[in-house]
Amino acid sequence: MNLINLKNYMKILILGYGKMGKTIERIALNRNHTVPYKIDLNNQDTLQAVTKEDVDVAIEFSSPESACQNIRTCLEKGIPVVSGTTGWLDRKNEIEQLAKETGGGFFYASNYSVGVNLFFHLNKILAKIMNSFPEYTPTMEEIHHTEKKDAPSGTAITLAEGILDNLNRKKSWVNADTSNSDELAIISKRIADVPGTHIIDYSGKIDSIEIKHTAHSREGFAEGAVVAAEWLQGKSGVFGMDDMLKITV
């Protein structure tokens, strides 16, 4: 993915230096950016000393417990933020309001893969079609690596919201099997070394319809986050992948 003019090299602050943070660092360096700060639980106090003169953007893939405060601190310092951490979204409206109040830039996606974002739209289209066929019951399965801390995944929640918005017979989702016809079941599995798989299945008595996205590595997620940081340069407001990719379906 090479959507951005790479003459504008950036100084990137990485918040969360696990496997994803390390992959983001490698891709950022390959795209000729620098990474002067990498902050995780071992040096969290360092964030207080970072200023907007030190870095151009923060890429935040920390933890559900740390994400909101990390993002808040950066926005209050005038540092734009690209975030991909899931499991904290009950406070997302608060962060979006802060970005607007401070004139900052905030970019959030539950998944930065281009393929996944195309899959989000395919999911909505299929749900809209299946709204007229009540004999089919939708369920979802999501599979991730054993180190993933939240369940269901943020990607699964986004997919569930796409179904609920377009399928009248489902009113809410649950992270379990269910016999309640109003509920969409999301089954979460954690298996070693699985970057991410999401399956939407519509089952009827005589057949089933299934769509599936399988990630082969973390590369697509990490590269998408770096490209989003490049795209965010000079912008203020609240953004997501649809804004960057210009998906209008």
Q: Rounded to 10 degrees, what is the CA torsion of 49, 29, 225, 245?
A: 130
| CA 156 to mean position of chain CA atoms | 10
What does the CA dihedral 222, 140, 86, 124 come to, rounded to 10 degrees? 80
Closest CA relative to residue 233, chosen from 7, 2, 8: 8
Does residue 153 sit in helix, strand or coil? Answer: coil
User: By the 8 A CB rule, do 110 and 67 touch?
Assistant: no
Q: Are strands 11-15 and 34-39 parallel, antiparallel or unpaired?
A: parallel
Residues 6+ apart with CB under 8 A from 150: 64, 86, 87
Contact in structure between 152 and 175 (CB atoms under 8 Å)? yes
Alpha helices in the chain (DSSP H): 19-30, 67-76, 92-102, 114-130, 154-164, 219-232, 241-245
Catalytic residue, chosen from 100, 128, 145, 148, is 148
Please report where in the chains the tokens 């309001």 appear, as a residue. Answer: 97
Q: Given 38, 77, 144, 198, which residue is catalytic?
A: 144
The yes-or-no answer on residue 148 being catalytic is yes
Instruction: Report residue 152 as tokens.
Output: 């269901």
Q: Look up 198 and say whether it is catalytic.
A: no
Known catalytic residues are: 144, 148
